[in-house]
Amino acid sequence: MTDLQDRPAAVLGSRLLRREDPALLTGEAKYTNDLNVPGALHLVVVRSPYAHARITSVDVSAALDVPGVVAAYSGADLATVWAAPMPCAWPVTADMKNPAHYPLAVGKAAYVGDGVACVLATSDTAARDAAELIDVQYEPLEAVVDLEDALSDRVVIHDDLGTNKSYQWDLKIEGEPGQVDAAFAAAAYTVSERYVQQRLIPVAMEPRAVCAVPQPFGGDITMYSSTQVPHILKVMSALTLGIPEHQLRVVCPSVGGGFGSKLNVYAEELLCLALARKHGVPVRWNETRSENHVATIQGRGQIQHIELAADADGKLTAVRVRLLADMGAYLQLVTPGIPLLGAFLYAGVYDLPLAYDFSCTSVFTTLTPTDAYRGAGRPEATYAIERAMDALADTMGIDPMELRQRNFIRKEQFPYTAMTGLVYDSGDHEAAASKAAELADYAGVRARQAAQNVPGAKKVVGIGQASYFEMCGLAPSRVLASLNYSAGGWEAATVRVLPTNKIQVVTGTAPHGQGHETSWSMIVAEKLGVSPDDVDVLHSDTAIAPLGLDTYGSRSLPVGGVAIAMACDKVIDKAKKIAAHQLEADEADLEFAAGTFSVKGTPDRSLPLAAIAFEAFTAHNLPDGMEPNLEAHTTYDPPNFSWPFGTHICTVEVDTETGHVEVLQYVAVDDCGVQVNPLIVEGQVHGGVIQGLAQALFEEAVYDSDGNLKSGTLAEYLVPAASDVPSLTLGHTVTPSPTNQLGVKGIGEAGTIGAAPAVINAIVDALSHLGVRDMPMPASPHTVWNAINAAQHTTNGASK
């Protein structure tokens, strides 16, 4: 009886409210720019107004006359400060071209926003006024904006490289030589499609901010930064600046979102560190929203050619992909690797024979560098295959849902070794797809469509589907080595039971909106039989959590969360030894449940963890040779990626007169294995879907032919607001991952991956009776109207 009463209700799987939210919602949370740092100098960076220009002179003298200004520097003035160029941690091929990239450009500016000079002043406003007085003379050169133009080397951006091509990366997998070509030759149906992944601006709610604070003596320095990757940043900054790594500490205060854009090592972080060391005082920088649009990395930026071959039943027999990827002006931290994260996913969720031919060519342009943005390579890949599947269904004259059903990897095929050699841990696409179809009333919408989409109809209906696999929690480390990725895929955790049975967890993950404090406390509560309220989660400070590989790529739960569960197991093992000693029982006879060890069959002989924790602390009566205290550390390198999956179905109504698209319903059925906290899972899906929908309908970084960003403010770069997006209908299936003890998979990017193709498939479906076969993103009303006109022009022309 007592046993049952003491047992806390199951924590794992409950909709616990996020402990992070009260501070965030009441404005109490402190972000980097909120830190009060007496004596800090303010850094402002002068940025190139030209996409491509020789810097002929930099005169900072007028800036120095502004009251409050302490110093001003050109790129050349600081050239000797750097021990190494800015880091690129993913040299995907041995012969990859990587231009030297310094925090301030010397000699040449290569994009609008490229830093060319900087000023330090006692106030932010003085520094901004002074920045306007720095006289930089440029000799403008031709911009390179178009990817195909870049590839032609008509204008070479980095003189010393002699070409704009950074690398070519191939992945050709054939059961027998020539199988891909043979499959295309023998195919009953083929499609050949070209899609453009427009550039996107990540627009984290909090722009970037940095503050570097040197200690008065001894050379230690602390950098506060709005980053997703404090640990990687620490290592890379130490290398770039020649700071002994043990003297550098990186701390992230509250971080207001990143979406991959803060998975980087940025010029301003290095400038703050370098200048704080040089001047011996704190130096801080905060990014304006306008700066964020040009000086923080952008996402996507690809031209995709995808070809599918299929037999008479529509079963895929080969996939061929040619990718042209926009690196931007320089390679940032993982820029070159982003397209390759999609390289394995162009066959989507389908059972493809060994006939896969992928090649990616990457080029420099005179635009803001690209890098990871929510999904990073995987939304692009999923978009291409899911759009191409619809094109194939259209060619065959069958329902796209039917075509997918014929090609899905079946449930019984898992774990499934894909043609790429990767092993998909678990999945059940038929279940997810049929659940989504049911929630979306697929048959009902088809019936309505048949009645409504008649010639001349002003409002037409369409329904679109996307089924996806997401590849997340990159691991194990040795697989990352085979991809030339410079870091590992492990994560570290420490679980420490304090004398009063309160728990401290130290994690190497670096949450910036994901709710790790809540989720990690739930995992520990479940494992150790305590209340989540008794668990404190420490993170995002390299002095407190010295080991870690941070938060990106939906890795935190399947790697970091599992590491915590494993550390809990070690704690339980040690506690069990103490319990056995105290209860004078054999370890093998003890069981642990609801925070209490008891002798099997004799429940009154028991000892709660609380008592053991205190014993471990006093160390008065521990087994011989046992070290005091109850804590354990784990570094977990997972055996495999985790493979969340799902099906999204979108229903739209299109106004054929204006081109306006209204999303009538959006259904997302996602499977991320076991859900630690469904409330947080739903939050991730909501945000993810809206970001994918934003790519489909609203957002685009638009450049003119001179390389100027036309969507430079939030008035032109259309991030949708709550009133512009539909309510989502969420469902889920649960297919546990067999590779980790919690059965969990990642969920941070899934929504984004599914959404864009589902929305565009729906729009094309709505307009297919008018002859529309494709729709560029974003499908703005003007774009939709143009597509309808072009299709009707073609149809009319053809009938004449």
Partner 1 sequence: MIPAAFDYVRATSADEAISLIGEHGEDAKFLAGGHSLLPLMKLRLAQPSVLVDIGRVSDLSYIRDAGDHIAIGALTRHMDVERSPLLAEHVPLLAHAAGHVGDPQVRHRGTLGGTIAHADPASDLPATTLALGATYVAQGPNGTREIAAADFYQGFLESALAADEMLTEIRVPKMGGAGWSFQKFNRRAQDWAIVGVAAWRRNGDSGVALVNMGSTPILASSVSGALAQGASIADAAQLAAAEAEPQSDLNASPEYRVHLAKVLVRRALEQASA
Per the omega criterion (within 30 degrees of 0), is the bond before 415 cis?
yes
Residue 24, CA distances (Å) to 29, 66, 253, 537 in order: 5, 38, 12, 17
Task: State the amino acid at position 671 in one-letter form.
Answer: D
- What distance in Å separates the CA atoms of residue 407 and residue 115, rounded to the nearest whole number? 50
Output the smallest distance, CB 634 to partner 1, in A.
47
Residue 64 burial (CB < 10 Å; 0-12/13-18/19+)?
Answer: middle
Residue 731, CA distances (Å) to 4, 507, 681 in order: 32, 30, 11
Nearer to partner 1, 9 or 715 (CB): 715
3-state helix, strand, coil in the chain (%, to 5): 35, 25, 40
Strand ordering across the sheet containing 728-732? 459-469, 645-655, 661-671, 728-732
- What distance in Å separates the CA atoms of residue 270 and residue 288, rounded to the nearest whole number? 18
Phi, then psi, of 13 in degrees rounded to 5: 95, 0
Cβ neighbours of residue 654 closer than 8 Å, sequence gap 6 or more: 459, 460, 461, 462, 660, 661, 662, 763, 766, 767, 784
User: Which residues of this protein are in contact with partner 1, per CB under 8 A?
Assistant: 124-125, 128-129, 288, 290, 657-658, 660, 698, 702, 710-711, 713, 715-716, 718, 720-721, 723-724, 780-782, 785-786
Output the smallest distance, CB 232 to partner 1, in A.
31
Q: Is residue 650 classed as helix, strand or coil in its secondary structure?
A: strand
Phi, then psi, of 296 in degrees rounded to 5: -105, 150
The DSSP element (H or E) to which 478 belongs, if any, is: helix 477-482
- What distance in Å separates the CA atoms of residue 407 and residue 410, rounded to the nearest whole number? 9
State the number of CA atoms in the 13 A half-sphere of 456 facing the CB.
0
DSSP state of 673: B
Nearer to partner 1, 395 or 780 (CB): 780
Nearer to partner 1, 671 or 699 (CB): 699
> C-alpha angle 81/85/88, rounded to 5°?
150
Give the orientation angle of helix 429-439 with respect to helix 400-407, to 10 degrees: 160
- What distance in Å separates the CA atoms of residue 742 and residue 569, rounded to the nearest whole number? 12
Output the smallest distance, CB 330 to partner 1, in A.
25
Contact 351, 415 (CB under 8 A): no
Cβ neighbours of residue 21 closer than 8 Å, sequence gap 6 or more: none
Output the smallest distance, CB 785 to partner 1, in A.
6
DSSP 284-334: EEE--HHHHHHHS-BB--EEEEEEEEE-TT--EEEEEEEEEEEEESS--SS
Output the smallest distance, CB 543 to partner 1, in A.
34
Strand-pairing partners, residue 118, are: 45, 73
Which of 509, 588, 574, 511 has the alpha carbon at shortest distance from 547? 509
Output the smallest distance, CB 523 to partner 1, in A.
39
Cβ neighbours of residue 168 closer than 8 Å, sequence gap 6 or more: 93, 359, 360, 361, 362
Nearer to partner 1, 658 or 727 (CB): 658
Nearer to partner 1, 431 or 725 (CB): 725
- What distance in Å separates the CA atoms of residue 39 and residue 20, rounded to the nearest whole number? 31
Contact 652, 662 (CB under 8 A): yes
Per the omega criterion (within 30 degrees of 0), is the bond before 628 cis?
no
Nearer to partner 1, 129 or 425 (CB): 129
